Structure 1
Amino acid sequence: MTEQTIDRRKFLKLTGFSGAALTLGFYFPAQGKAKLAEAPLYNFYADIPSGVELNAFIIIEKTGRITLINPRPDMGQGSFQAVPSLLAEELEVNLDQVNIVQSDGNKKFGSQLSGGSSSVRTSWLPLRKAGAAAREMLVRAAANRWKVAEADCYANQGKVFEKKSGKSLGYGELVEEASKLEAPKDPKLKLPKDYKLLGKALPRQDIPAKVDGKTIFGLDVKLPGMLYASIERSPVIHGKVLKVDDTKAKQVKGVKQVLLSERPMPHKTTHGVAVIADSYYAALQGRKALTITWDNSEFDKISTEAYFTNLRELAKTEGVLFKEKGKVEDGLNAAVKKLEAQYETPFMAHAPMEPENAVASVKGDTCEIWAPVQAPDWAVDQVAKYLNIKPENVKIHVTFLGGGFGRKAYYDYLLEAVNLSKQIQAPVKLLWTREDDTAQGPFRPGMLSAMRGGLDKEGKVVAFEHKAVGASIQQQVFKAPMAGKADEWVMECIGPEESPYAFASAKYSYVLAETEIPIVWWRSVYCSTSAFGQECFVDELAHAAGKDPMDFRLAMFANAPRFKNVLQLLAEKTDYKTKLPAGKARGIAIVKSFGSICAHAVTVTKQNGKLTIEKVVSVIDCGQHVNPDNVKAQTEGNIVMGLTAAIKDGITFENGQAKQSNFNTYRVLRIHEMPAVDIHIVQNTEEPGGVGEPGLPPIAPALANAVFNLTGKRIRKLPFNLDEV
């Protein structure tokens, strides 16, 4: 036998060719005698091909090869296919006729952010118009060649046909002539009834390549002459390097250099110690062999306990007004029943399955990058600014992302790699460990919702107040001046527009709390925090009024027909009016976020003293959508992530150090804990809403409301332990 090394991805590709291979025995030839057979990599970060551009997003070669540019990176949400589908629908081509390439940060592609559930809803009209304009130009070119009216021609499956004769010309034959025509400013768009791709449950073309190992993620990138880096950072957040003994690290085989690294964050730049080696294993072993003395004196007092104690004190202050209807104090004074409650949600890590990583190559005044990033245009700008070079001198290849949830639109890890490459004048691949990712942040900010409400003798809400207290992402990340201002991001999904309950009077305000703990958006941003207090407190008011929580909400949505429709469908799909057997209870919540309305009904059961989550029924109204399978998949993912955040672990700091480090202390929902899920999509022709995040905000309050209905115990602080209820 000859010993040889084979990596996981190559193994997947080799063993994935045939199911019979494992049964019959699969032979790996020894190196030097034969080369290992392997399929070509799924090159998602291919350069944009040459050809004739009909517009920034559509390139057609004379051979007929069509390339569509996807301007929104794919981190699992399906944007790889969903966004180009908008172009393909109007261009009259099938997805198996096109080559899809990721955008490269060039400004001509506009916003290239995958975040805020914006990929489809903000591209719906612009990209459909781009596809329709290209189609009309191709049809006009064919009509001109045939000397017939444009109305006598039509496009279908990459060709233009003349109606009477049936003759046709392929797009490749027409593209040069078409490119010389003026693009129509207001092309005719297809009606929903004529869609061939949009709204259809089509197979995602990226899935097979992800399953068989061909897809390139950031962790898979390899370049000739590339070195590897692993960085030791202070376990006390923001701690400073005082002294380094790298003697043992340099004795590790493969270690080349030990350098001071730089982590530029928006609010603070910190330093660590990077080990550079010819393999990741060597870099990591060298890192473990370092002896570092840290100065933690400024930061060892940071704690989440002190942070939340401060939030509770700040909740006693007035706060900055965001929106107000009527006079809440008058309503409270007139109320026959008054309620007050505070709800707390913790700091959370993103924990994508692929930790942060980047390959950077800095040469003179140029920089080339291969990395999983959520916004290549942002990345180009930040790298250019950091290196003080022109943006056009930065080239980025965007790989698939193994999860992101907002973390990979925060470019500290990218700039770390750039800094190291500049120092060593060679391509360097930086990889964060799971422990780095969990403990170093940035995190979803911990928040507090201070609620007050009043009911009249008929059980109607005469006063409702939601005061949100916590740190501002806008202030820390974007340096926005928040003094005396209500952060509108914090107030997402709880104001009267996105939560249109017919309260007689209502007041929404914000109190800023600053923190040294690095923060950034997390899936659904503040909606995952504010909606917990909002929807739980609405339930409290319903019970105080002696009314069913569903009926209570429906009565207050009299002037919000889409909300009412979602709840009515939820009631229908759960058979809501039928009484559940003893030991079971159901809780509901409804939230509008990122343009979509989602409601969950969570059923919990308690047997032999053990509380379990049995089922989640969901209804989502996201308007028109690309792929119903994608909508369901994203809603399922939101349920998993939302339940994890509700019943597992938050991020807690003590003496400046995160107490969580890996999935043993920052646990995620396991498959045996997953409830049955039943998702229903409202069918309509409303404007598209997001689907990547709206399913998350209502899950925690629906669960907490179910727990109350079963046990009488009101959950007001997350996370909570199911076994202790």
Structure 2
Amino acid sequence: MNTNNNNINRRNFIRLTGITGAGLVMGLSAKANGIESVENLTSAIESFELSPFVVIEKTGQITIFNSKPEIGQGTFQSIPALIAEELEVSLNKVTIKQTTGEKKYGPGQSAGGSASVRTSYMNLRKVGASAKEMLLKAASQQWNVPVEECYAEEAQIFHKPSGKKLSYGELAEAASKIEVPKSPKLKDPKDFKILGKSVQRPDIPSKVNGTAKFGIDATVPGMVYASIERCAVLGSKLVSFDATAAKKVKGVIAVETCERIHGVYKTEGVAVIAENYWAAVQGRKALVIKWDNQGFENFNSKDYEQRLRAAAKEEGAIDHQQGNFDKAFAEAPTKIEAFYETPMVSHSPIEPMNCLASWKEGNNVEIWTSTQVPGRVISDIAKAHSITQEQVKVNMFFNGGGFGRRLYPDYVHEAVQLSKKISKPVKLIWTREDDTKQGPFRPLTYSALKGGLDANGKANAFQHKVIAPTLDMEKNYDKTKTNGTMTEGISEQKYEIEHMKNVYVHDYVHLPLAAWRAVTSTTLAFSHECFIDEMSVAAKKDPLDFRLSMLTKDSDTKNVLNKLKEVSNWDKKLPAGWGRGVAQYQFFAGLGGFVIEVSK
């Protein structure tokens, strides 16, 4: 921005200050291979905002803002590509910057539930199409020609009859003053140049050569390091601690308590803060702590599994029902019953949990971290410390894996508390042992399945009962209500079974829980499809043909299974010692199917 320009009008002032102040905060840049400071993002070149997601400089430089955190799934490219496709600009000519939870970009600035492209596809294409139409209109007005005589290509507007052309940079100011179209025309998919094509991901070079920046790489002058000792018995309470030996470790500067906040799960730990990470860890090892285990020291996996199995006898809450399962199952000539268990597991992303927090004068806090939910970080920290969301600033980085773990900012809470206590920037790093032992974890889930076959081996009764806690860790859950997250996908399957009942049984556990990649479909698809196999064995039928026999109507499931049969040469006899299996599952508006061959 040229601060000496006295002719900046009110509209451009709002746009420019909005961009250089709130919009272009520290973020990821494809061209800089990592982090740019806010100083590097403000310049003497005027920029014009055609939408919160599209900013064009007079030089022609185009910046597209990506609202979905990059956790390895490719949204750093795919989300901007939706805009670039309709804007008619190549990705290699665009600077991509990550939004950091600012309200102007809306509430959907998160990565989880396989939702990024699925929920952004049409909206962001419209963003690009609207910006293009604004540029087309600006050019037609400048040339005084019908807009229908103009077209966009490679960041330029052309006038067909005369061959005139103007760059997006030359048109940006005029275009920014045009009203945003309400119903822009979208391209026909057959004309796509980016979407559905093989294009280079802009983040790959920096990740290969080591220049990409992740949260754990963040540093600021004067920062110190922290490592936290938490009780190995989950759910315990801190009674007392002796930090005498810890404070004797060279480099240790403070020992403080802090609270881990993971939804309703809250525990206290003891943090050792030091000049370097090694000293913090060594000081932590020297702590002497007394815990009250609250009786949880006797909690074990075997007893918990038995408890869930016993809970399968409960009626539970009906998630989906058709026909009369109980009657059909009771009368079925052939009955099959099975229990499936999927264990509690850690997310274990390759980048450990980490956060650098700096509590500043005026109760402002600045945060540098890897997260799937920058907006949630802002709102949660503001609420926890009774400050406004405008007082919380988040700096975003590439995430070294997420898998649902970074949907929860418990590690951010800890770092902020410690920085507030000692009035210094504090960088907290969890060890891998911390993450594995402390969770949060994917819930242990039990599936109790029942199936009935008629005299001809046809499936006519099916029940899938899911026994598990909720991801919100609700102790007093209303057991008359189902839970769509915990029964994810089981009622979306297209098998045509006359009598069907899907049920959820709630069973509380005191442990920290969290969504895990693909949430609960990863657990339920396994049990659901394995049981279909068990039914096919009982019916003495081929497992793929058995599935197709339950799909008389046209559906994606039927099409996928038929395609699998074709491409896998299913009917071709396998050599001795080989086996073959098939499975499919529909969830998140998508469908996956596999044929796997194995040998001894």
Same fold (TM over 0.5): yes
Matches of 1:198 and 1:327 in 2, distance apart? 47
Taking the aligned partners of 2:59 and 2:299, their CA distance within structure 1 comes to: 62
Provide, for residues 364-419 of structure 1, a one-character-per-residue CA deviation record: whole Å limited to 9, x for no partner.
32111110000111111111111111111111011100001000011110100111
* Residue 137 (structure 1) aligned to one of 134, 138, 147: 134
Q: Is 1:102 matched with 2:130?
A: no
Partner of residue 58, structure 1 = 54
For residues 557 and 319 of structure 1, the distance between their equivalents in structure 2, rounded to whole angstroms, comes to 28
Which structure 1 residue ranges, 5 or more long, are not aligned? 1-39, 607-725
1:264-288 per-position Cα deviation (integer Å, ceiling 9, x unaligned): 1211221111111111111111111
Which residue is 2:480 aligned to? Answer: 484
Q: Does 1:78 align with 2:78?
A: no
Shift of 1:334: 2.9
Give the superposition deviation at 1:559: 1.7
- Deviations along 1:330-351, one digit per CA (max 9) or x if unpaired, are 2113311111111111101000
Listed one character per residue, the Cα deviations across residues 161-201 of structure 1 (whole Å, up to 9, x for unaligned) are 11122221111111111111111000000011000000011
CA drift at 1:248:
2.1
Q: Deviations over 1:580-601 (max 9, x none)?
A: 1111101111001111110112
1:481 Cα offset (Å): 4.6
Of residues 313, 317, 321, the one that matches 2:314 is 317
Shift of residue 46 of structure 1? 4.9
Does the CA-based 8 Å contact 2:473-2:513 persist in structure 1? no
1:413 aligns with 2:407: no
**Does residue 500 of structure 1 match 2:491?**
no
Alignment of 1:561 onto 2:582: no
Q: 2:34 aligns with which of 43, 65, 76?
A: 43
Task: State the 1:305 CA deviation.
Answer: 1.8
Paired residues of 1:60 and 1:175 also in contact (CA < 8 A): yes
CA–CA separation in structure 1 for the residues paired with 2:36 and 2:548: 49
Match of 2:512 among 518, 532, 540: 518
Structure 1 contact 346–446 (Cα < 8 Å) conserved: yes
What does 1:300-699 correspond to in 2, within 5 Å? 300-363=297-360, 364-476=362-474, 481-495=477-491, 498-606=492-600
- Return the alpha-carbon distance in structure 2 between the equivalents of residues 360 and 152 of structure 1: 54
Q: TM-score, normalised by structure 1?
A: 0.76
Matched residue count: 563
Superposed counterparts of 1:168-207, under 5 Å: 168-207=165-204
Alpha-carbon offset, residue 560 of structure 1: 4.1
Q: Report if aligned partners of 1:45, 1:398 keep a CA contact under 8 Å in 2.
A: no
| Structural RMSD (CA) | 1.5
Answer yes or no: is the 8 Å Cα contact 1:550–1:588 preserved in 2. Answer: yes
Deviation at 1:302, TM superposition (A): 2.2
Deviation at residue 310 of structure 1 after TM alignment: 1.0
| Displacement after TM superposition at 1:115 (Å) | 0.3
- The DSSP-based 3-state class of the residue aligned with 2:346 is coil
Question: How far apart are 1:157 and its partner, in Å?
Answer: 1.0
8 Å contact kept, 2:451–2:535: yes
Residue identity opposite 2:591 in structure 1: I
Q: Tell whether the 8 Å contact from 2:317 to 2:479 is kept in structure 1 after alignment.
A: no
* 1:91–1:135 Cα contact (<8 Å) kept: yes
Provide the C-alpha distance between the structure 2 equivalents of 1:484 and 1:395, rounded to a whole number of angstroms. 42
Deviation, structure 1 residue 482: 3.6
State yes or no: 1:124 paired with 2:115. no
SS of equivalent residue, structure 2 residue 593: strand
Amino acid at match of 1:455: L
One-letter amino acid of the structure 2 residue matched with residue 168 of structure 1: K
Letter in 1 for 2:546: F
Aligned to 1:629: none
Taking the aligned partners of 2:266 and 2:495, their CA distance within structure 1 comes to 44
Q: Mark the CA change 1:127 to 1:482 in structure 2 (over 3 Å): closer, same or farther.
A: farther
1:102-132 CA-to-partner distances (Å, cap 9, x unmatched) read 0010122120110000010100001000000
Residues 41 and 214, structure 1, Cα contact 8 Å, conserved in 2 = no
- Against the structure 1 CA distance between its residues 551 and 45, is the aligned structure 2 distance closer, same or farther, given a 3 Å change threshold? farther
Q: Which residue is 2:237 aligned to?
A: 240
Over the matched positions of the two proteins, sequence identity in percent amounts to 48
* SS of residue in 2 equivalent to 1:122: helix
Are residues 507 and 234 of structure 1, via their aligned partners in 2, closer, same or farther at CA, if it must alter by over 3 Å?
Answer: same
Q: After superposition, give the CA deviation of every residue in 1:54-95 in whole Å (9 maximum; x if it has no partner).
A: 111111111211110000001100110011000100011001
Q: What is residue 221 of structure 2 aligned with on the other side?
A: 224
Is this contact kept in 2: 1:44–1:101, CA < 8 A? no
Q: Distance in 2 between matches of 1:65 and 1:473?
A: 44
1:601 counterpart SS class? strand
Q: Using the alignment, how far apart are the partners of 2:295 and 2:423 within structure 1?
A: 34
Relative to structure 2, which stretch is displaced further, 241-250 or 132-141? 241-250
Task: Sort the Cα spacing of 1:45 and 1:441 in 2 relative to 1 into closer, same or farther, 3 A.
Answer: farther
Gaps of 5+ in 2: 1-30
Name the residue aligned to 2:11: none
Matched, 1:274 2:271: yes
For residue 99 of structure 2, what is the amino acid of its counterpart? Answer: S
Aligned residue in 2 for 1:659: none
CA distance in 2, matches of 1:280, 1:169: 55
Please give the alpha-carbon distance, in whole angstroms, between the structure 1 residues aligned to 2:373 and 2:165.
Answer: 40
Q: CA deviation at 1:426?
A: 1.2
Letter of the structure 2 residue corresponding to residue 255 of structure 1: V
- How far residue 464 of structure 1 moved from its aligned partner, in angstroms, is 0.5
- Which residue in the other structure is 2:289 paired with? 292
Name the SS of the counterpart of 2:494 in structure 1. coil
Q: Which residue of 2 aligns with 1:618?
A: none
1:609-666 Cα offsets, whole Å, 9 max, x none, are: xxxxxxxxxxxxxxxxxxxxxxxxxxxxxxxxxxxxxxxxxxxxxxxxxxxxxxxxxx
- Give TM-score, length-normalised by structure 2: 0.92
Partner of 2:22: none
C-alpha separation in 2, matches of 1:502 and 1:236: 47
Give the structure 2 partner of residue 156 of structure 1. 153
CA distance in structure 1 between the partners assigned to 2:423 and 2:478 by the alignment: 41
> Which piece of structure 1 moves more, 309-318 or 479-488?
479-488
Distance 1:484 1:561 in 2: 32
* Residue pair 2:258, 2:268 contacting (<8 A) in 1 also: yes
Q: CA 1:395/1:383 → structure 2, altered by over 3 Å: closer, same or farther?
A: same
What SS class does the counterpart of residue 430 from structure 1 fall into?
strand
Q: 8 Å contact 1:343–1:448 — kept in the other structure?
A: yes
1:87 equivalent in alignment to 2:78: no
Structure 1 residues 560 and 381, CA gap change in structure 2 (3 angstroms): farther
Q: SS at 1:121's partner residue?
A: helix
Which deviations, in whole Å up to 9, do the C-alpha atoms of 1:306-345 show, x marking residues without a partner? 2211111110111111110100122113311111111111
Partner in structure 2 of residue 645 of structure 1:
none
